Amino acid sequence: MDDILNEKFQRRTLILGGIQGGLFLGLVGNLYRLQVLENKHYKNLSDKNRIHNFLILPDRGLIVDHKNTILAHSKNTYIAYFDRTQVQDIPILVEKLKQHITLNEQDENWIYKQLKTKTKIEPIIIKEQLTYAEVSKIEYFLSELSGVYTDNIRSREYLNPEPFAHVVGFVSSISQHEKTKNSALLMAPGFQTGKTGIEKFYNDSLVGRPGAKKVEVNAYRKVVRTLAYEKSIPGDNLVLNIDSKLQLKIYELLMKHNSGACAVMDVHTGALRAFASAPGFDTNLFVNKLSHQNWNDLSHNIHRPLINKLTSGLYAPGSIFKMLVALSALEKGSITSAEKVHCPGHYDVNNHKFHCWTWKTGGHGYVNLIDAIASSCDVYFYKLANKLKVDDIANMAKRFGFGSITGLEIAHEKAGLIPTAAWKKAKYGKRWSMGETINVTIGQGAVLCTPMQILRMMAALVNGGKLVTPRLVESTPEQSSIISVNQQHLGLIKQGMHNVLNHASGTAFNSRSKNKNFEIGGKTSTTQVVRITEEQRKKGLTKNSRWDLREHAFFAGYGPTHDAKFATIVFVEHGEFGSKTAAPIGRDALLLAQEILG
C-alpha cells in the first residue's frame, strides 16, 4: 500500500515539477524576448511616455512710436491644453478639470468647438490666462489628467489700446483658413497671428522664429531634466511714424463727438504723425477668447468702433471735392480766376431746384473762383456742369488718387468710386444726366471716397502736385508720383483755401489760427446722408433730428500756409456742419503737430 502511495506522490511531483519548469522556461523566454529581442520596440514606447518635445513660442516684435514709446509688447501668461490622441474620454476629462479649475459654459463650448474644427494633431486649448493657483492645481493632479499640459507662454499686450486700435490692430488665435503654410509654429498651443492693422500687415516680420526643448518626465509626469534646448528668436521691432502724444490728444478731441476720424501727415514724405478712428476699442479683448457679451457690445455699437473710418469708411466728400472740379475747369479753359458768377441761392434745371447752402439768405451774390472756394458757393460749381463733362472731373480726381487705394500699410483699404458716363452705362444701362454732373460738382451723388484719399489730395494740392503714399512705419520707403497739373492753377486753389480760414467770408473763419507764424488753410465740407425734400424745406426743416440721418462733417487742412509742412483730414460722423465741428478739430490737430513735432 505504501509503495502505491509513494509511486503516486512521485508521479505528481514530476508533473508539478514539469509544469513549474515549463513556466520558468516560459518566463525566461519572455524576459529574453522583452529585454533582448523586443528591447528597441519597448524602449521607444517608454521614451514616448517619458520624453516630450515642446515648441517655444517667440516673442512678437515690439511696436513703438517714433520716440520709442511702447504700443505693443509681450508678457508672460499661462495656458492649459490637451492632446486628444492621449485622452480616452474627453467628457470625463472635462469633468475632472472642472474639479480643479473654473470652466464656465463658454469655456466648455469652446473646447468642443475646437474638437470639430481642429485636426487631431493640434492641441485643444482648455483655458487661457490661467491664474497661478489654477496652474498649481493642474500640475498637482497631472497624473490623473492624462494628455493635459500647462505652458508658460508669451502673450500680446497693448498699451493705450483704444486710441491706437486702428493703427496697431490686434492678434488672436489662428483660424483654420489661415493655416495655409506648412509650419509647426501654426500648430503650437497659444500661437497668435495678426488680424488687423500693423499687426496683420507686418505679421511675418513680427512673428519671429520658434525655439524647442526636449524634456524627460517621471511617472507622475513631472519634468526631471531638460535633454535639449534651442532658444526662440524674437520678431523684428517696428517703429511707427506716429507720435503717441499727438495721437492721444487728437483721439480725445474726436471722442467729444462720439464718432469720427483724424489723421495728420507730413505733406512731403507721407509720414503719418497721427492716425485715429473713434471710437476705438480695447484690442486686448481679442488677444484671448472674446466673450459673447463683448462681441455683441462692439458689433452692435451705433458708432461702429470696429470700423477703421480712415481707410474702410466710404463717404461722399462734399465741398472738399470742389477744388478738383475747379482744377478741371481751369485746365479745360472753362473758367478764369477773375470771372464772376451770380448765386441767388439756387440753380434751376428742368424745373428742379439745386439749392446752395445759403438758400435761406438769398445766396452769395456775385463770386469769383477764390470767393467760391472760400465761401463754398454751391451755385458757382453747379453752373460748371454746363461746361464740364463728368469724365473731365473724373480724370482730374483720378490723377489725385481717387478711385484707388492709397497704398497705406493697412489691410482692407477701400478704393471708393469716381463715377463716369461709362460706369453708369455698364452698371445701370442708362445714360449719364446733367443733374448727376451737378451733384458731382459738389462732391455728392455717386462719388465715394475714404478720408485718407482726401488727406492725400490735400497734401498734393499744397506740396506742388506730388502725390505721396502715406506711411505708418518709419522704415517703409518713401514713394510718390508727380501729378500733371498747372502750378498757377494750384496757386489759385491754395489762395481759396487760405481764405477759408483767414478771410471774413471763409466758412471756417471762426476756426482760424491765432498764431500768426502758423496760419492754417483748408476746406470745410458738409455732406448729406438723407436728402431734404423741397416740401420739407418749405416747412423750415434744415436738418434731421435723428443722429444717424444728420449730415457728415469734414475738414481738410494744412499748415503753415506760407510753407506747408503738415496736412490733416477730420471726419465727424453725423457732425452736421464741417465749419462748426470738424474745422476746430483740424485747427487744433495742426497746431498740436507744430507744437509737439516742430
Residue 585 has a pLDDT of 98
C-alpha cell of residue 218: 517621471
Going by the DSSP 8-state scheme, the letter that residue 480 receives in this structure is E
On whether both 584 and 545 belong to a single domain, the answer is: yes
Provide the residue range defining the domain that includes 509.
244-281+306-597
On whether both 351 and 424 belong to a single domain, the answer is: yes
Residue 183 has a pLDDT of 64
On whether both 442 and 487 belong to a single domain, the answer is: yes
On whether both 365 and 505 belong to a single domain, the answer is: yes
On whether both 265 and 217 belong to a single domain, the answer is: no
On whether both 392 and 379 belong to a single domain, the answer is: yes
Longest Cα–Cα distance of the chain, Å, equals 151
On whether both 444 and 406 belong to a single domain, the answer is: yes
Would residue 369 count as lying in a domain? Answer: yes
Query: Residues 225, 231, 235, 237: what is their CA dihedral angle, to the nearest 10 degrees?
Result: 110
Would residue 14 count as lying in a domain? Answer: no
What size, in residues, is the chain?
598
**Paired strand residues for 527:** 552
On whether both 388 and 476 belong to a single domain, the answer is: yes
On whether both 102 and 215 belong to a single domain, the answer is: yes
- 8 Å CB contact between 63 and 168: yes
In whole angstroms, give the CA distance from residue 405 to residue 416. 8
Domain harbouring 101, CATH code: 3.90.1310.10
In whole angstroms, give the CA distance from residue 496 to residue 503. 10
Residue 44 has a pLDDT of 45
Nearest to 569 by CA among 224, 134, 361, 276: 276
Would residue 31 count as lying in a domain? Answer: no
Residue 386 has a pLDDT of 93
- Angle 541-545-546 (CA atoms, 0-180°, nearest 5)? 140
In whole angstroms, give the CA distance from residue 248 to residue 167. 12
* Average pLDDT, 10 consecutive residues per value, the chain (598 residues): 48 48 43 44 49 83 98 93 90 91 90 88 88 90 88 92 98 78 69 94 93 78 79 94 98 97 98 98 92 93 96 97 98 95 91 85 92 96 96 98 97 96 97 96 97 99 98 97 98 98 96 94 90 54 67 96 97 90 97 96
In whole angstroms, give the CA distance from residue 266 to residue 462. 11
On whether both 275 and 409 belong to a single domain, the answer is: yes
Query: Residues 569, 572, 577, 580: what is their CA dihedral angle, to the nearest 10 degrees?
Result: -80
Q: Which residues contact 526 (CB under 8 A, 6 or more apart)?
A: 318, 319, 357, 551, 552, 553, 554, 576, 577, 578, 579
Nearest to 288 by CA among 150, 151, 130: 130
Number of domains in the chain: 2
Would residue 292 count as lying in a domain? Answer: no
Would residue 196 count as lying in a domain? Answer: yes
Q: Is residue 246 helix, strand or coil?
A: helix
Domain harbouring 361, CATH code: 3.40.710.10
Q: What is the residue type of 341?
A: V
In whole angstroms, give the CA distance from residue 479 to residue 457. 15
On whether both 411 and 528 belong to a single domain, the answer is: yes
Would residue 38 count as lying in a domain? Answer: no
On whether both 394 and 458 belong to a single domain, the answer is: yes
Nearest to 127 by CA among 286, 292, 284, 289: 289
Residue 323 has a pLDDT of 98
Last residue of a domain, one of 183, 214, 239: 239
Last residue of a domain, one of 239, 266, 291: 239
Would residue 42 count as lying in a domain? Answer: no
Would residue 25 count as lying in a domain? Answer: no
Taking CA atoms, 477 is separated from 269, 468, 469, 470, in Å, by 9, 11, 10, 10
